[in-house]
A and B are shown apart, each in its own frame.
Chain A
């Protein structure tokens, strides 16, 4: 089944926020953002802007009727700067004008008198100064301090990863209207309608019931509109609330880039202990997360880093500590993987470093330490239904790892300037919001008297195909054609208290709720049929819109059934609530059962480096992924390919650069490179691992949104292996992205001494052991 939005998309008829027809009297908004990253806001000069053509009103923190606060996890983020500014681009004033160009022109006339305060951009510096968003957290398993004595090899090092700009092609925005009774309705480009509603109500000093949020679809989100859409929704709502006129606020690309947070950069220290036979025995890791100027979702991202610190490996002794460090960058936020990729990058770096030092291939270490049923994750959850070995073996079998490695080695033997590297990237990703309470969803299903069906959920369609999945679930459960089912907009008045569309869990949570509602409706309809047609209820079912009794067509079909049920006053609407069973987590012990299940997979990645230029190609990615029982294979395959490409981008070309003043230098597509058609590997194989799926997954089709992003990490290590094929004496630092510039610097790094290269070529048995 194809994406149900397809027809609208290809005709340009699908409506996104900026396409909504503008109401009479609409004001257009533009935001004045702080020119400094940190300082005391002494005064704002708004006079020139007020006099500018078309300007109707300029709002500042003083105009907020309720609380000037939009912090979700920690109340540390003002909607409009009050006494201080905390990052460049932090919203300070909102200009409302008759046209968008007028509003933007007026913003340029605003000046602010700001007393500069010291700027921190480095998370380690922030940590040293005690600038933490929340207290640090530590996950523990076994006793690493005691285990070091048993280790034959101990490897220590540092790994750093950069941030990542979401670059949803549709920028952030919202369109708010005043409604009867002092309320406000907001069309928002958000993944989290309830978050926008909650914070807007707080800002306006009103109840959530007076704030309605409606979302049709997003032109991409990737986490960037989970929490960060709130600012723009609340600002538009504030404008509408104060002026009693519709207010539209759509960020221009440059404003979006400089005002919104990204994936978190991390810098981390690791210490990994191995036995003589390459078993991982102990792992200590400290993560320094660059959270930016406010908490946003950073504490939750930090938590997921800890959950994924060991990736898909069993390590019996672990101590993982994470600091969420407050700096003066825009508040960093959710991005597909949500801290998981950052955690995995460090353990993979540690393994790569161990491989360097022991003179073995990294995958020899990886494959010896894959998770198995009955083991335990550092957070206390038992490993069950584990497909780590299964997916590795399937990939090994299908893509012939040893043979491939031999081909790469042979190529490198005969090729002096072009060198290849092969890396294996196995993944294990936990599915569920790590905040247990968020694992709930509701669905509202109406069957209309003509047999058509309307479904509302809390899920937001942003390209992941969730609407198509919801329609499939409803149609299958009711036994009718998907053509009869319509997915409504996501609206807080129809489905309240929603969790954001995030954590890969949207289809599972909302789909389960749809399934429950439709089951109840089906039961009701069949009970009515049994009564109406004097048949046995047992054995009645609906298939292909026909009612079957003990497998044989009965005297009624879907349309007749619905129509007669209505006349017998059967309730044709149902509201269902789903909460993922058996989840819990005790933060005081850092133990529990936080995930409904885990998704596994194994990717083999080959890169070729041009050792003259430092440029490279990711030639091939061949992977086996644990989909469970996919019922939308086209959509799910697309998620794998898209997630992979984003992961490749993050690891190779996407380089976010802030200067010491906290100013974003990579502030356009000309200076921040995202994957284009060239970035897709020429060979891209996605094999479906046949598994029974999981009962907590919708129709046993496992969640597929985030896990594939982490296959992209394989590109980093493949490129690194290619660099080392050219320069075996060089051990590139673990610093992502591995841009061609960095590759070149490594290829032509100064040769330390005549003795050094020889030592690095020592075999595993002879490798020196560091402590």
Chain B
């Protein structure tokens, strides 16, 4: 299961140039360099390169869906972008990128988080589960089964986030009543309005007593 996967992330390099320039533009010495003078400018340029190099990539170890990754990521990369753009795990959706819709919900060490609001480097050494890691092979997770049974979606775009949130909701012990489900699922927006069916699916799993 635990397969060592060494830096499977070529696309990460795409950001290098932008990163370098950004750091150059924002370093303290660049501000100094606004004062004219060739000597100061040259010194600033040297320092900028060093600052940029130091911050370009950060090593990161993650366990994602039971698979171990050693990665090099830019510090500003969100967990969502790491999953989608570098690891091509596109089941986790980007709805707003501001933590306001819940479509990007994943589990980190069993806790649900908005992956757009957390930087990948903050999760070093942790265990991440995405929608792709919920089923065990062909055997769907009970929550996935329940969402199918109750039509807990329409367009399906918010569904991965809803399901990840729903699983955590039960694990947290926050699915004991319809009211509690409403409260603890209110961060996941479904614009199609499949809410009644989502609640029904969660209640079924909760009442079914299966291990989630």
A residues at B contact (CB < 8 Å): 2-3, 5-16, 18-19, 21, 52-54, 98-99, 101-102, 105, 166-171, 217-222, 252-253, 462-465, 634-635, 638-639, 641-646, 668-670, 674-680, 682, 684
Q: Mark B153-178, 1 if CB is under 8 A from A, else 0.
A: 11111111001000000000000001
User: Could you tell me if B151 and A638 are in contact, using CB atoms closer than 8 angstroms?
Assistant: yes
Interface of B, secondary structure class, is: loop
Besides the known contacts A12-B131, A670-B98, 18 further A-B residue pairs in the complex with CB atoms under 8 A apart: A2-B148, A8-B156, A9-B153, A18-B90, A18-B94, A21-B88, A98-B14, A99-B14, A169-B155, A220-B155, A253-B95, A463-B153, A463-B155, A646-B191, A646-B193, A669-B101, A670-B100, A678-B183
User: Could you tell me if A14 and B181 are in contact, using CB atoms closer than 8 angstroms?
Assistant: no
Could you tell me the distance in whole angstroms from the C-beta of B147 to the nearest C-beta in chain A?
5
B113 interface contact, C-beta 8 A: no
B199 surroundings in chain A (CB, below 8 A): 677, 680
Closest chain B residue to A672 by CB distance?
A: B100
Which residue among A167, A219, A253, A646 has the maximum number of chain B CB atoms within 10 Å of its CB? A219
A16-B91 Cα distance, complex, nearest whole Å: 10
B109 interface contact, C-beta 8 A: no
Q: Which of B18, B154, B189 contacts A105 (CB 8 A)?
A: B18
User: Could you tell me if A12 and B91 are in contact, using CB atoms closer than 8 angstroms?
Assistant: yes
A54-B20 Cα distance, complex, nearest whole Å: 12
B126 interface contact, C-beta 8 A: no
User: Could you tell me if A99 and B156 are in contact, using CB atoms closer than 8 angstroms?
Assistant: no
A677-B132 Cα distance, complex, nearest whole Å: 25
B158 surroundings in chain A (CB, below 8 A): 169, 219
Contact A253-B97, Cβ < 8 Å, known A10-B140, A462-B155, A642-B154: yes
B182 surroundings in chain A (CB, below 8 A): 677-678
A577-B191 Cα distance, complex, nearest whole Å: 33
Closest chain B residue to A100 by CB distance?
A: B85
A7 surroundings in chain B (CB, below 8 A): 148
Closest chain B residue to A648 by CB distance?
A: B193
Closest chain A residue to B163 by CB distance?
A: A10
A101 surroundings in chain B (CB, below 8 A): 15, 18
Could you tell me the distance in whole angstroms from the C-beta of B167 to the nearest C-beta in chain A?
12
Contact A680-B189, Cβ < 8 Å, known A219-B93, A220-B157: no
B188 surroundings in chain A (CB, below 8 A): 676-677
User: Could you tell me if A169 and B154 are in contact, using CB atoms closer than 8 angstroms?
Assistant: no
B45 interface contact, C-beta 8 A: no
B residues at A contact (CB < 8 Å): 14-15, 17-18, 20-22, 84, 88-98, 100-101, 103, 130-132, 134-135, 140, 144, 147-149, 151, 153-160, 163, 178, 181-183, 185-199
Q: Which of B97, B134, B144, B151 contacts A3 (CB 8 A)?
A: B151
List 10 A–B pairs whose Cβ atoms lie within 8 Å, in order of A's numbering. Answer: A11-B91, A54-B18, A169-B157, A169-B191, A642-B192, A642-B193, A669-B101, A676-B188, A677-B186, A680-B193
A217 surroundings in chain B (CB, below 8 A): 155-156
A388-B100 Cα distance, complex, nearest whole Å: 41
User: Could you tell me if A12 and B154 are in contact, using CB atoms closer than 8 angstroms?
Assistant: no
A222 surroundings in chain B (CB, below 8 A): 191
Closest chain B residue to A6 by CB distance?
A: B148
Closest chain A residue to B178 by CB distance?
A: A682
Closest chain A residue to B147 by CB distance?
A: A10
A668-B155 Cα distance, complex, nearest whole Å: 21
A16-B183 Cα distance, complex, nearest whole Å: 29
Q: Which of A463, A635, A669, A676 contacts B156 (CB 8 A)?
A: A463
User: Could you tell me if B130 and A54 are in contact, using CB atoms closer than 8 angstroms?
Assistant: no
User: Could you tell me if A677 and B17 are in contact, using CB atoms closer than 8 angstroms?
Assistant: no
A643 surroundings in chain B (CB, below 8 A): 193
